[in-house]
Chain A
Amino acid sequence: MTAVIEAEGLSKFYGRRRGLENLTLTVAAGEVFGYLGPNGAGKTTTIRLLLDVIRPTRGRIRILGKDPRDHRVRARIGYLPGELSLEGTERAREYLEFLAQVRGSGRSQIPVLAERLEADLSVSMGKLSKGNKQKVGLIQAFMHNPDLLVLDEPTSGLDPLVQQEFLAMVREARNAGRTVLMSSHVLAEVEHVSDRVGVVRGGRLVAVEGVAALREKAIRRVEFHFDAPVPPEAFEGLPGVRDLRVEGTAVRCTIDGRPDALIKAAARFTVVHMVSEEPDLEEIFLAYYSEEEDHAYAGA
């Protein structure tokens, strides 16, 4: 498979402040790549480098086989900025038509996508609600059927139903052989559509994993409530179980990886209630960090 995005040793410094350091990443054609990290980690810096809005301090980028400086390549890219700013008295429809005209395609998709996302395009740009603004942003990114979609925090401001529709659009794009790079600070937003995710933190890409593998690494907080007090020994020493606290009828712990052993241990008693929190990204980071520290320690 050919690479749609190739970054090699990519670094960006804003003066002395580090935006991104030594990123090497390849995204293949037809892949949906989730780009994860907390705010300020370097996601937006990476994305703006791909679009040639900012220029790398060091390193090399090829996008759809071209240098991002070649402006013609941008006709084949759909871009949703992380901080989408739409202003003015012009109606959203007129603005989208202007974009279609410059790109030379996509005009016919405007009403189709507007209906799908239930966007009101008769409103002037400056008066769009946050959700509607994001919809206009998505329409302009998808409307010309670009070979590559670069979406920075695409689901922010969308209500859950529209989010579902958006994820369906991403899946359709992938099924049509297009490539998607989407960023998020929440794993849950990208995990259902992404093939791989990259985790960026402090300007460095700390991991690239298949989604399934990342989920296995995720820490999950679990709580069981039983109809009678349970003996602590029944839960001690289970593989992957940490921070175990047994208090009367309740068992609380975090699990690292598969919950299988814990579930089987709990199944021997009568479970009246169970809580399992979705792993959040913060905790995955912690998992990675402790791993990195372990390596550092082992190397010392």
Chain B
Amino acid sequence: MNRERFIKRRREDWQQFEKLLDRMYGSRLGKWQGQDVTRLSNLYRSICYDLSLVQSREWGARLEQYLNDLVARGHNCLYRTPPRSLDSALKFLSEGFPQLLRRRKTFFFVALALFAIPFLIAMFVGIVDPVLAEQLVDRTELEDVRQNFSKTMYTEIDSEYAEQRSAAAGFYVWNNVGIAFRCFALGVFFGLGTVVTLIFNGLSLGARSGYLVNQGHADYFFSFAVTHGSFELTAIVIAGAAGLLLGWGMIHPGDLTRRESLRVHGMDAVKLATGAGFMLLIAALIEGYFSPLPIPNVIKYVVGTMMWILVFVYLTYSGRTAHDGFPVAVDRDHHSPAGQLIREELA
């Protein structure tokens, strides 16, 4: 067949395809017409054939480039991200995230150990020997903390907080969520960054709390921290688990190639980090608006306990199915790594 006749024969289709693409690429999936979609996918397939024909016969770089562009644009138009609704986001938070965490619970417990053991040791040190605690956390900082929770300051802060609460909540969002995300991201250095972050955070928090207990401000401190601590501490540990998961994917790919392993573990890790971020947002709101309220400490302890139970129930039971704990065999979302792996295996 002749190149020129080929072009003459096909150009109408190409031009039609271009027009369709221009129209459909900009519009949302919901507004696509059925016949347009049929036409577009038919044209796309035939243009794929055109491209391979031109490639195999070497009918010129420009023609090939032109068709290559058409195919690339068509590909981007047809194989786009499946639309995500608010509904799917809510479903992820209510079911997907706790399910995922239960599937990766080993990492959670390792991260918990890395955080809690230094925390307890430092707290013990702080209670028994405040001078030694100064080796862990700078003396001025300890003094600041003590000032914040000493009785007079505490009541003053309460009245002051009435107008400062939003500022504080904003600060907690910026600071705490930032720490969690960093804790996850540093896992990319084979998990080392995460391990270091967890241990250091555990040490510094532990030393501060121990020092406060030693100075006799235990009641103020624990009544303040118990409510938001439920979400905050758990979320930090989850972010740590995400970082460890990322590092583990690099160190130990198992049956997968290292690239695939990174992809699978990375996706799970970022999902955990997203959930952790969400929990920290809640924690920031509680810490900003509820924790410093000038109400009897008993109420705070009660609410705090309820929050701990809530977090526990949420993470343990939410989205539980008949075969919980096993990896979901066929992922509906065929763009997800798991679904992709399955498809690749089938192909």
Q: Do A and B come from the same complex?
A: no
Which B residues form the contact surface with A (CB < 8 A)?
none
Interface residues of A (CB under 8 A from B): none
